[in-house]
Amino acid sequence: MTDDRERWALILGGSSGMGEATAVALARAGYRIFGIHLDFRAGLEHVEDVKRRITEAGSEAIYINMNAADDEKRAAALARLGERFDESRAGGRHPYVRVVMHSLAFGTLIPFIADDPKSAVNRKQMEMTQDVMANSLVYWVQDLYRGGFLEAGSKIFAMTSEGSSRVVPSYGVVSSAKAALESHIRQLAMELARQRSGVTAVAIRAGVTMTPALMKIPEHDLIIESAIRRNPTGRMTTPQDVANAIVALSGEGTDFISGEVIGVDGAEFVTGS
Ligand SMILES: NC(=O)c1ccc[n+]([C@@H]2O[C@H](COP(=O)([O-])OP(=O)(O)OC[C@H]3O[C@@H](n4cnc5c(N)ncnc54)[C@H](O)[C@@H]3O)[C@@H](O)[C@H]2O)c1
């Protein structure tokens, strides 16, 4: 069955790494892109470059620089998307958000236990990391669902990592957010299916990938060395690997894939040494 609706992708974290690569790949696959990102002045030139690559693909890029975990800003962003959808409808088209990708990297990277309390995680840091990296997914999906942006065939992807079930000294807070994110995906998949919405949700567990977020992890050298040694393909995962997988998983015939964690890592996770 052909889908003649106007396809949009909402990319949370669309200015860098996996979100950037997926935004460009989906644009090339015919999607219009609504990107949310948080960048300071030094990063804005790069954001313009991402938008240029999307438009050069014959698509459209609406990017908003904001904290994705801010309720009021989320409401304003969705109001803007709603206005854009109204323009499409006025032109006789039928827009919907087919792809939602949660690809936010914004967390505290310090341990739980330290002699100096300032060197150990506190409540504010724990809650902020959980809010951005896990719970924000639920609030975006709630508003998208209630706002009528999601329709049968819509797909939700959330980026998780091996850290959801393994430990690294500085990664404890993000690990807990990844475990929560995978749980949120299972719950959303079940509830959306029971609503007979036709909307699916999966977590994508990428292998270790060279991005700005990886380089912020204090143990990144060890993590990269371990990934290269362990990955049986002999190389690390790339943002393009993730983008290609999401384009494929957004295609036809994928409507019964839901509630799962899907690895995109060349079998890195399952390879012990
Ligand atoms: N890089 C890896 O090795 C790896 C592996 C597995 C999973 N992941 C996960 O993939 C996701 C993307 O990571 P990446 O490596 O591509 O990171 P990245 O640093 O390249 O990109 C992060 C994106 O999130 C945006 N962002 C961060 N905080 C935000 C906020 N509060 N509000 C709005 N936007 C915000 C940034 O602007 C950027 O667009 C993360 O969830 C990360 O944990 C990464």
Query: How many distinct structural domains can be found in the chain?
Result: 1
Statement: residue 1 has pLDDT above 70: no
Look at residue 179 and tell me if it is in a domain: yes
- Count H helices and E strands in the chain, helices first: 9, 7
Would residue 133 count as lying in a domain?
Answer: yes
pLDDT digits (tens, 9 = 90+) for 212-221: 999 999 999 9
Q: What percent of the chain has pLDDT over 70?
A: 100
pTM score, whole prediction = 0.98
d(CA 256, CA 208): 28
Quote the ligand 1 centre to 78 CA distance (angstroms). Answer: 21
Which CATH number is 245's domain given? 3.40.50.720
Give the position of tokens 């993590």.
Answer: 223
Note whether 185 and 156 are within 8 A (CB): yes
In the numeric block, which tokens belong to residue 22?
A: 């997926």
Which residue CA neighbors atom 11 of ligand 1 most closely? Answer: 103
- How many C-beta atoms lie closer than 10 Å to residue 173's C-beta? 21
Q: Quick one: which atom of ligand 1 is closest to the CA of 174?
A: 43
Query: pLDDT tens-digit profile of 131-160?
Result: 999 999 999 999 999 999 999 999 999 999
pLDDT tens digit sequence for 181-202: 999 999 999 999 999 999 999 9
From the CA of 91, how far away is ligand 1's center (Å)? 35
Q: What is the DSSP letter of 170?
A: G
Chain centroid to CA 87: 27
Range of the domain at 242: 6-264
Asked whether residue 1 is domain-assigned, the answer is no
pLDDT, tens only, 32-56: 999 999 999 999 999 999 999 999 9
Determine how many CB atoms are found less than 10 A away from the CB of residue 148: 11
Q: Is residue 271 part of a domain?
A: no
Q: Counting atoms of ligand 1 from 1, which one is nearest the CA of 104?
A: 24
Q: What is the Å distance from ligand 1's center to 159 Cα?
A: 8
Q: Is residue 258 part of a domain?
A: yes
Rounded Cα distance between 36 and 105, Å, is 12
